[in-house]
Structure 1
Amino acid sequence: MMQRQSHVKRPHSGETRLDALQRHAFDYFLNETNLANGLVADKSQPGAPASIAAVGFALAAYPVGVERAWISRISAIDRTLAALRFFSNAPQGTDPDTTGHKGFFYHFLDMTTGRRAGICELSTVDTGFLLAGTLAAAAYFDRNSEDEQEIRSLADALYRRADWQWACNGGATITHGWTPEGGFLPYRWEGYDEASLLYVLALGSPTHPLAAEGYIAWTSTYQWKEIYGYEFIYGGPLFIHQYSHIWIDFRGIQDAFTRGKGIDYFENSRRATYVQQEYAIRNPLEFAGYGENFWGLTASDGPGWTTRRVNGIERAFFDYAARGVPYGPDDGTVAPWAVVASLPFAPEIVLPTIAHFQDVYPQVTGAYCFRCSFNLSFQDEADADAGWTSPYHFGINLGPVVLMCENFRTDLLWRLMRACPYVVTGLRRAGFTGGWL
């Protein structure tokens, strides 16, 4: 029997708080975007390159902005077209100074020129988030005007261009990426992770689809664990249980693996959210702050690769790392945005935690909603109680805040993507049945 808690009564007292939180997160995409090409900065640090995943989040966030009157439909169309035209026309090929190859794009791009930034990889998963954003835009901008027709046409062409068979490099599963200097990266998308969306998009392609066996190969690498009394498909960092759910409504639909376990992926993420809270309550490593309303370990910025003696204990601290529960790594750094992104799964524990972070720790609120992360155990020499707070905001953190708040409030992105034939095809080829499918 499936344990369903997707229809929890939604509290109304936090509505004003959610309005402000979501709006301030949306402001990142208003202010950190190059209007000439639609590229969005990876983070608020001056000189930061563009992140193609952040562009994907922006493309999905613009419809939210239109619906909530934070941006006009005309302005949203202009921004969307700027990005789609850029990616459609940007140079592709094996030359190291291009924007992409085989329909995929480099993880980071120069904000002005749009060419590859540094020696980063051609990223399959980040291209997946970008393509999901283009498909969301195509689903939303459905009018017969010339501009909206162009959005749909460009989005369709970009999606059809990605060569998922090439990205497998002869194997069943999708590789992490490729560089012109070294070829394919040695890693593949295996084990439960944020790649659910990637596999659905690859399976739904009408031009270069992933073989159905690829999805079976991926799910065969799952780890089913019982932690703190919750049985679920294990993934330590919280974002693993969120990113694909931003786009795909997994409520009530099941593939072969989840059918066999009597759950769906939405319920799986609900359990993972509760495991995060329970870990913080138990606080096995005795970090400052952790508790019922202070949790959220995920991939995030950190105080730096260093060690410090804190209250007589030698502590190791990390920079940007994928922190996870319960096996670590954990250095006392939590990410409030990641709590917000679990809002649809467990509002009854997320809303009080949001309020706690905002009311008790004002240092973690910046220009755009929450800063990336903070750590009370990494003591500030000037103010021991303040700890460390990331100075930056990241596009791939704030996109989930905007979109998961909206999915919780109106199901907007879920409704748009349920209407996308490529997503429906991908889910069916992956073996999903039931529910809205």
Structure 2
Amino acid sequence: MLRYLLIIPTLFATGCSSGDPKVSGTPEQPETPAVQLTDEQLVDLVEKQTFKYFWDFAEPNSGLARERYHPDGNYPDNDAHIVTTGGSGFGLMAIIGGINQQYITREEGVERFKKIANFLENADRFHGAWPHWMDGNTGKVKPFGQKDNGGDLVETAFLTEGIICVREFFKNGTPEEQQLAQRYDAMWKGIDWNWYRNGQNVLYWHWSPTYDWQMNFPLEGYNECLITYVLASASPTHGITPDAYHQGWARGGNIVSNNTKYGLPLILKHNGAEEFGGPLFWAHYSYVGLDPHQLSDQYANYWDLNVNQTKIDYQYCVENPKGYAGYGPNYWGLTASYSHNNDGSIGYDAHMPSNDKGVISPTAAISSIVYTPTESLAAMRNFYENHNSLLWGPAGFYDAHSQQYNWSAKRYLAIDQGPMAVMLENHRSGLLWSLFMNAPEVKQGLINLGFHSGKYGF
């Protein structure tokens, strides 16, 4: 079972269970901070505070992103030292953004990236792929599920987005920085993407040394996994042929959708969510590095794809067919996050219009700022000014909130904090997009698959 593809309620995905402590919300009082921030000041504050997740609150031994951070110290199953592979990839990119915004010095960043490289070079890998979870103290795989105890190709792809950005950021720097870039280059070139085809024209999510291919989850679109095919095509050492992309991911062309919602074409068939589209992280995870501006192939214009999905999510929340408290133009955004269970405990759910539980996830609207800047900024300001006491904490906005239940999950998940920090940086400077898209292997990988980019000239 997989966290990021689930479109049904689930508790196990983040280690939560019905035995988690209940979090009862108190009636929320609107609370406007004393000083009114300009839009630019607010964006900077949110990026800087969210960046702290990956800097101040990183797992101390590895330097990587914890799967979760609970400010109250109450962790299920003593998992405070679990590091997450995909969230750590976003974290690498967030740290680069932190250097660019001078939250830390370049020298401080180099030292952290050295520490991370020391860990990743010695951590468990399975035909080059890292597992979903690792023990931050030992580098050993921490099973995400009984059979999910080996390589996780999708999580590895999210990590690789960050690894390539680190290489590109430092490759022309000082001799010390160039050596660091070479270490990151070697790590990504060690991933055997072709192995994860299992001899077929499709990529598979998992391989286990004890359960082999029993997870049996082919990567077929459309969901959050596009970046996996882009990187597999880009690999100069263990690449795949375009057939795997066209026959596997694109389902022989059957990925294309003719559906519209609110007059907006969905463009591609969203797996299991073909009426409204999926949770908004599908518009974020692949695109923290992969710049969708003027990016197209035979199946989609990827800017239109993501803008339309975001606007459909927004319009659904404005229309608010279930009548949930607060929903509207400045309170919107449905995606996978912690969630409010009927008994008041904290669960986890893939929120989206077709699975709406009255829970808003700040990462949904804020990470969409590159697509809907006006609507996203309105939500960000409302979250900060009017829901500060329940939503704002030491690493930025907490993971989930509900006016319906006067409730907030005062916890954080790397996979949600990361896209906020990175997309805010892309909104401000375009830095991570520029680093990733100008990597020569990435350009060639996209060309191999039939992509065109007006912005990057291929």
TM range (shorter): 0.7 to 0.9
Say whether residues 1:403 and 2:425 are aligned partners. Answer: no
Q: Is the 8 A contact 1:52 1:106 kept in 2?
A: yes
Say whether residues 1:30 and 2:55 are aligned partners. Answer: yes
CA distance in structure 2 between the aligned counterparts of 1:190 and 1:22, rounded to whole angstroms: 33
Letter in 2 for 1:15: E
TM-score by length of 1: 0.86
CA distance in structure 1 between the aligned counterparts of 2:232 and 2:331, rounded to whole angstroms: 37
The offset of 1:282, in angstroms, is 1.7
CA distance in structure 2 between the aligned counterparts of 1:85 and 1:255, rounded to whole angstroms: 38
Letter in 2 for 1:334: I
CA distance in structure 2 between the aligned counterparts of 1:283 and 1:254, rounded to whole angstroms: 32
Match of 1:329 in 2: 355
RMSD: 1.9
CA distance in structure 2 between the aligned counterparts of 1:223 and 1:256, rounded to whole angstroms: 10
CA distance in structure 1 between the aligned counterparts of 2:172 and 2:436, rounded to whole angstroms: 17
SS in 2 for 1:270: helix
Letter in 2 for 1:101: F
CA distance in structure 2 between the aligned counterparts of 1:394 and 1:344, rounded to whole angstroms: 21
User: Deviations 1:115-160 (Å, cap 9, x if unpaired)?
Assistant: 1124542211111111111110000013353321222211221111
CA distance in structure 1 between the aligned counterparts of 2:381 and 2:410, rounded to whole angstroms: 21
SS in 1 for 2:172: coil
CA distance in structure 2 between the aligned counterparts of 1:190 and 1:291, rounded to whole angstroms: 33
User: Deviations 1:288-335 (Å, cap 9, x if unpaired)?
Assistant: 22112211111111123x468xxxxxxxx982121222xx21111110
User: Deviations 1:206-250 (Å, cap 9, x if unpaired)?
Assistant: 111122011112123525220111002343100001111110112
CA distance in structure 2 between the aligned counterparts of 1:318 and 1:163, rounded to whole angstroms: 38
Q: Is the 8 A contact 2:223 2:278 kept in 1?
A: no
The offset of 1:416, in angstroms, is 0.7
Match of 1:283 in 2: 320
Tell me which of 192, 202, 205 is aligned to 1:176.
205
The offset of 1:370, in angstroms, is 0.7
Letter in 2 for 1:389: S
Identity fraction in percent: 29
Q: Is the 8 A contact 1:203 1:426 kept in 2?
A: yes
Match of 2:66 in 1: 41
SS in 1 for 2:260: strand
Say whether residues 1:247 and 2:289 are aligned partners. Answer: yes
Match of 2:274 in 1: none
Match of 1:143 in 2: 172
CA distance in structure 2 between the aligned counterparts of 1:16 and 1:183, rounded to whole angstroms: 50
Match of 1:128 in 2: 157
TM-score by length of 2: 0.82
Structure with bigger RCO (C-alpha 8 Å, 6+ apart): 2
Say whether residues 1:320 and 2:320 are aligned partners. Answer: no
Say whether residues 1:110 and 2:158 are aligned partners. Answer: no
The offset of 1:35, in angstroms, is 4.7
Match of 2:334 in 1: 297
Tell me which of 54, 77, 87 is aligned to 1:54.
87
Match of 1:3 in 2: none
Q: Which runs of 5+ in 2 are unaligned?
A: 1-36, 74-78, 271-276
Tell me which of 92, 96, 113 is aligned to 1:80.
113
Letter in 2 for 1:193: N
Letter in 2 for 1:429: N
